[in-house]
Structure formats: C-alpha cells, structure tokens
Structure 1
Amino acid sequence: MVWTWARVGVGVLLGTVTALVELVFLAWAALILIPAWAQPRARRAAVHRIHAGARNLCEVERWRLAAFLRTENASDYTGRRAVEYLALRWSAGLLGGLLLLLFLYGVAVGAIWTHDLFTGRSTVLLVVSQIVLGLLGLFLSIQGFIGVAAIERRLARHFLGPSTREMLERRITELSTSRAGVVAAIDAERRRIERDLHDGVQQRLVALGMLLGRARRSADNAALLAQAHAETQHLLDELRDVAWRAYPAALDNLGLHEALLRVAERAGVPVRLRYELGERPPTAVETAAYFVVSEAVTNAAKHAYAEEVTVDITRTDKLTVRIRDDGIGGADPSGSGLSGLARRVAALDGEFTVDSPAGGPTVIVAELPCA
C-alpha cells in the first residue's frame, strides 16, 4: 500500500513537471501559428510541426501514465487529438503540483510545531490541535491525489484511446483465439474420453465376453460366472470414472463445493480445500473452476509427486481459483493439460497463470469473471 501511494505521488509530481513543459509548448504553438494563419502553406507547415511536437509530448505522458498510474493507452491517436489532450491536461498537472505543495507545507508545519514542543516554545494543547488539523490536511491531500489521478486517466482515455476501432479489433482477435482454443479443447477432451474407453472399458468388455463364452462351454461354470460378475463390477467402476472425468453429476446436483470435496477424496494426495463462496457462481464459471482444480490436483499427484495440495476458492468481482502443491515443480504451461485449461478459462474472458519453477512449488491461478 505504501509503495502504491509513493508510485502515485511520483506520477503526480512528474505530471506537474510535464504540465509546465506543455504550457511552454502551447505558448510556442500559438506564437508560430498566429503569424502563419493567413498563409495556407505556412499554416500547414506550422500545424504539422505542432502536431509532431504534441505527439512527442503525448508519448511521454503515455509512458508516465503506464508506469505510475497503471493506465495503458493506444498509440493510434491523431496529432489534433494530441493537441486537444495537452490543452486540457496541463491544468490537471498543475493542480497535482498545488496538492503536493500543500502536503509538503503541512509536513513542514508539523515538524516546526513538534520541534517547538520539545524545546518548550509551545504547549501540548496547541501541538495536539495542530496535529488534528494536519491529519485533516493529509486526508484532503490524499483524496486530492486520488482525484487528480482519476482526472488524468479519464483525459487520456478520452483523447488518446484506445479508439473504438482498435477496441473492436482487439475483441475480434480475442474471440477468434478463444473460439479456436475451445474447439481444440473439445477435440482433446474427445480424444481423452476415447482413450479411456479403449484402454479401460473396452478391454474389460472383451474380458467379460471371454469369461461368459467359457462359462457357456463349461459344465461347471459357477466359478467363471463369479469371475464374470466381479468383472461387471470393475466395468461399472471404469464407466463411472470415465463419466466423472467427462462431467461430474455432483456439479449440477450438489454444486461446486461438493464436487471439489469429491475431487479431494479421490486425489490420492492430501488436499486442503478453502471454499469461501457465499452463493453459487454461474454454471459456465462453476464448470471451468471444477476442471481447473481437477486437472491441477491430478497433475500434482501423478507428475509432481506432491505431498500436499492447497486449493483456495474466493470471489470478489471475479472468482479466483488458486491451487498450490509442494511437488517438484517444472510444470510446462504449454503441455496438453495446462494449455487446455488455459483455453477453457480464456473462453470465459478469464486469466490463467502457471508459476512452476524447478524444485517447486507449483502455483496455478485462474481468475474467472462472474458477471
């Protein structure tokens, strides 16, 4: 928090410096434009120079806003929009400078009164009253910094973009990428189900058919029928496992919490689950969260040799799923399992990150919008 306020304060201070530069630039622009206004060729040359200078200053502002106020803006604005932005931006910059002077003045006055108290030149009551006024001034200064930062962001967003066209192009690209990812994830899931059926269920069906065939040809078939009956139980367990991995019925019937408890029971490794949702999220979000946890826990047990997995499910404006294991690390985010989860999360406009250094621990975080 202290670092955040320090960063914003530095950003506002730099904004005051750039505001002074922008005032000088605007005065220079007026000086070269007014004499050239009557001559079209000279006017065009002056406008071109002004637009180029305005764009250079706006690039400095874009860097300042991104570095200190965490605001990204597009680079496709015109020179005219840059001039319009600077014509308004300088006032916000000077306002931030006045707030900084007020803050520094309050600090200096507080230091003087404190010094007077220790040297016997002032009374405790007077110093306490000044401290109260100083705290009030500090609160007003902080609120002023917040307001200036908000004005800066709004002006930059209005004049520098991103433009409507760029926003639409970005959205189209995101949708095309997520759609391709969903198709790939569906194909991968189908291949996995086919592999499970072929390697597990199909083999047991073949074994069951052979047992029943031997039982028909045998005079004493009680033992063979008992084996066949046992094989049907194994077959049912295999089918339940395949169905559970494809889509758990408990997710619809009992909700995400109960489904995750069952994942923890079947994990083969101790799983600590912290579930802090007051109400059920949307179905698509619930499903994505379930598969993220299920895949991550399975990977931790099979590949990371983890001794414990911690799963945290929290919600603010987004549903956040965080899985941490104490395994050997080195998970590859581009692998089929994790990349499939990333595509599933991206399809919901969510964010998916994997931090898995060699030696561990592995931390997987998925943030899913709930709106």
Structure 2
Amino acid sequence: MLGIARRGLRLATGLVLGAVLAVAELPLVVLSGLSLLCVFAWPRGRRVVLNPLAAAARALTEAHRRRLRVYVAADTSDTYAYHRALQYLSLRWGLGVLGALVLGAALIGAAYGMSWVFILLLSDVRHPGTLALSSIGGLFLLFLSLQGTFGVAGLETRLARYYLGPSHHETLERRIEELAATRAGVISAVNDERRRIERDLHDGVQQRLVALGMLLGRALRSQDARRAEQLLRQAHEESGQALTELREVAWRVYPTVLDEAGLRAAVETVAERSAIPVRLDYALATEPDTAVATVAYFVVSEAVTNAVKHSGAGRITVRVAPGEDAVLVHIEDDGSGGADSSGSGLFGLARRVAAVDGRFRVDSPAGGPTTITAELPCA
C-alpha cells in the first residue's frame, strides 16, 4: 500500500510538471504552424524558421524525456527527428491540460471528502445528511481522480514511445546488449559460486575429513584400549561435524526444501536459521515458477547472511509480495548501513536478478537502515 502511495505521488508530481510545460508547448506549436505556413513555398526562409523552432522543440522534448524517466519510469530514445518531436508536442499539451484537470479534481475531491472534519470542529451541523453526502461524493471524486492519474501517466508513456521511440531496431539492439551482458554475468556468477563451493569444501569439510582419518589411524595404531576408545569417540564427533558442514554447503548450493515445499518454506527456513530475529511477511497467493523462486530465495538468503555478518542489526524484516506481473522481494535491517553494492555478495545477487530480467536496488546510507529490493518479473 505504501508503495502504491509513493508511486501515485511520483506520478502526480510528473503530471504537475507536464501541466507547467504545456504552458510553453501550446504557443510553440501554434507559432510553428503559422511560421511554416507562411514560408511553405520559400525554401530559404523555411530553413531560417526551422532552426530556432527545432532548437526550442528539442529543448522542450528533452525536458519531457527527463520528466518521464524520473517520475513515470518511461525510457525513450534520444535519436528522434525534429518533425517527430514537433508532432509529439502538438499532442502532448492536451495531455498536460488533462493532467491538470485530473489533479484539480483530486484536490476538490479531497477538500469535500475532508470538509466534515473542519465543519464539525468549527460550527454546528444543521444538515448532517447533506454533509455526509458531500463527503462521500468528494471521496468518490478523489478515488476517480487518483485512477485518472495512473491513466494519464499511461497515455503519456504511450505517446512518448510512439513519437520518440525507441524504434523496433533500437529495442532489439538494446535487448541484445542486455542479453550479452546478462550471459557474461551469469557465467561469472557460476564461476564465483564454484570457487566459493571449492573454498567451503577445502577449508571446512576436507579439513574435517583429514582430521577424521588421522584420528582413525591413531586409534588403529594404539596399543591402549582406553586410548583407542577415546580416539574413536573423537573421530565419531569429527564425522558428525563434517556431516553438518557438508549439509551447510549443500544448503547454500541449493536447498531441497525449495523443490519439495516451495518458496515460502525455504525463506521461513532462512528466517529460522538466522542468528538475528527475522520478521517474515510472505504475501504470495501462488507459487512462482522455478527460476523466479530460486532467485527470490537466494536474494533473501544472501541479504540475511550479509546483515548477520556485517550490519550489526538487531532485527531484519523480509517481505515477499506480488507486484505488477512480478514478485517483489524486500529486505530491510536496522543496522549501521554503508553496505557496498559492488561487493561480491550483493553484486552476485544483482547478476542473479538481471539473469531473469529483474531489477535490483540497494539503499544503504551511513547509519542505516539498509534496504535491498528485487523486482522479479514472472509470466
């Protein structure tokens, strides 16, 4: 709910800026039409008129591209032609006016919806039925206006992409670059994982097995029955520790519970095994596909492990929730912050998320809190 409110506020800010820019767009469009009409049959004069118009149109279009990128999360191409920019602006000012009307209606709805509070505090209510109806009508108008905000933002995105691109060819080129980078990242992540497994086996399980072999050898060579029994008892304890460490390595490679019981059980196990209390909020109604569930699990596991090792936190919050055709994974701790997103652990998570075309973000200011968010698209 909080995420929807933030997105709505961001879109409303974008529409306000769009309405302000519409004030400059309409005069430019009218002036461009009249100027081109006057010099239509005069090539030299047309060039004289086109240069300043092209500069003004590009400046306004670039302002819109920045606005859409920041507030509407819509990317466009920077290789558009002048006439496409002018066509875009000639229609865009109407959306600017529409956005202003929608936001104005939202303010009116909020005023009527909340008016009963001030009326009850400042004066006597003589017609409570009328007051209730006006408040309900205001809240309904507010609801419709908020829905209209998302609708106008969607129209803004479609209009910008239609006139400003990216073109189909540019989209394919960008996709090829992303796939090449993702493939390289996956290969590197696999190699890093292999090195980590080898290190865990060499420094942990292998050393335990070496110690176990030495204890058994000493027990076989011992002439003292009591000493041999003591060595065998130590060997038994060492074998148990080796088995525990081997299970830990296998769990970090891939937990069988993920296949047997699903993502919820896997992240619950991570929370139970954590040395720091973990508050888990799992809101998925259905099980995601295997690739998404695997990445979501490793994001939670690695983030919790990093928080336990480095953050000094006293509590960790994990939320797994549905988004718009995506699974949202959110991990937050109350530690000291300052997490390095380019470190091997978090960078490896970013590559895992990129491998399924997801988005990964780390926010860790000095003093905390540290917030890790992954958006994993699903079919």
TM-score range relative to shorter protein: 0.7 to 0.9
Aligned to 1:341: 349
Question: Post-superposition shift, 1:345?
Answer: 1.2
Write the distance in 2 (CA, Å) between the matches of 1:208 and 1:12.
72
Aligned residue runs from structure 1 range 176-215, under 5 A: 176-215=180-219
SS in 2 for 1:354: strand
Is 1:152 the counterpart of 2:147? The answer is no
Farther-moved stretch of structure 1 (65-74 vs 239-248):
65-74
Aligned to 1:115: none
Farther-moved stretch of structure 1 (153-162 vs 320-329):
320-329
Is 1:26 the counterpart of 2:29? The answer is no
| TM-aligned CA distance change 1:32 to 1:59, over 3 Å | farther
| TM-aligned CA distance change 1:207 to 1:173, over 3 Å | same
Aligned to 1:73: 76
| TM-aligned CA distance change 1:96 to 1:137, over 3 Å | same
Which residue, out of 297, 320, 327, partners 2:335? 327
Aligned to 1:285: 292
Which residue, out of 362, 370, 375, partners 1:354? 362
Corresponding letter in the other structure for 1:313: V
Aligned to 2:261: 254
Write the distance in 1 (CA, Å) between the matches of 2:151 and 2:55.
30
Farther-moved stretch of structure 1 (50-59 vs 17-26):
50-59
| TM-aligned CA distance change 1:148 to 1:293, over 3 Å | closer
Corresponding letter in the other structure for 1:176: A
Aligned residues: 360
List gaps (5 residues or longer) in structure 2: 111-121
Aligned to 2:282: 275
Aligned to 2:304: 297
Aligned to 2:375: 367
Q: How big is each residue's C-alpha offset from its partner over 1:14-52, in whole Å with a ceiling of 9 and x where there is no partner?
A: 254134223332233324432xx2x65655665566544
Write the distance in 2 (CA, Å) between the matches of 1:98 and 1:252.
52
Compute the TM-score of the two structures, normalised by the length of structure 1. 0.80
Write the distance in 1 (CA, Å) between the matches of 2:306 and 2:106.
54
Corresponding letter in the other structure for 2:258: L
Is 1:165 the counterpart of 2:172? The answer is no
| TM-aligned CA distance change 1:40 to 1:10, over 3 Å | closer
Which residue, out of 14, 18, 23, partners 1:17? 23
Q: How big is each residue's C-alpha offset from its partner over 1:269-309, in whole Å with a ceiling of 9 and x where there is no partner?
A: 22222222222111111111111222222222222233322
Question: Post-superposition shift, 1:176?
Answer: 2.1
SS in 2 for 1:342: helix
Write the distance in 1 (CA, Å) between the matches of 2:99 and 2:348.
47
Q: How big is each residue's C-alpha offset from its partner over 1:161-220, in whole Å with a ceiling of 9 and x where there is no partner?
A: 122233223222222222222122111111111111111111121112222222322234
| TM-aligned CA distance change 1:28 to 1:262, over 3 Å | same
List gaps (5 residues or longer) in structure 1: 108-117
| TM-aligned CA distance change 1:33 to 1:84, over 3 Å | farther
Corresponding letter in the other structure for 1:75: D
Q: Kindly indicate whether the alpha-carbon contact (under 8 Å) linking 2:331 and 2:371 is maintained by their aligned counterparts in 1.
A: yes
Q: Kindly indicate whether the alpha-carbon contact (under 8 Å) linking 1:106 and 1:137 is maintained by their aligned counterparts in 2.
A: yes
Question: Post-superposition shift, 1:78?
Answer: 0.9
Aligned to 2:118: none
Corresponding letter in the other structure for 2:33: A
Write the distance in 2 (CA, Å) between the matches of 1:256 and 1:102.
44
SS in 2 for 1:360: coil
Is 1:59 the counterpart of 2:62? The answer is yes
SS in 1 for 2:207: helix
Aligned to 1:226: 233
Q: Kindly indicate whether the alpha-carbon contact (under 8 Å) linking 1:23 and 1:90 is maintained by their aligned counterparts in 2.
A: no
Corresponding letter in the other structure for 2:234: Q
Q: Kindly indicate whether the alpha-carbon contact (under 8 Å) linking 1:329 and 1:356 is maintained by their aligned counterparts in 2.
A: yes
Question: Post-superposition shift, 1:363?
Answer: 2.1
Write the distance in 1 (CA, Å) between the matches of 2:237 and 2:109.
84
SS in 1 for 2:79: coil
| TM-aligned CA distance change 1:145 to 1:32, over 3 Å | farther
Corresponding letter in the other structure for 2:280: L
Corresponding letter in the other structure for 2:355: A
Farther-moved stretch of structure 1 (280-289 vs 91-100):
91-100
SS in 2 for 1:303: helix
Corresponding letter in the other structure for 2:13: R
SS in 1 for 2:285: coil
User: Rg bigger for which structure?
Assistant: 1
Q: How big is each residue's C-alpha offset from its partner over 1:211-232, in whole Å with a ceiling of 9 and x where there is no partner?
A: 2222322234541333323322
Write the distance in 2 (CA, Å) between the matches of 1:216 and 1:67.
73
Write the distance in 2 (CA, Å) between the matches of 1:265 and 1:100.
47
| TM-aligned CA distance change 1:168 to 1:271, over 3 Å | same
Q: Kindly indicate whether the alpha-carbon contact (under 8 Å) linking 1:292 and 1:341 is maintained by their aligned counterparts in 2.
A: yes
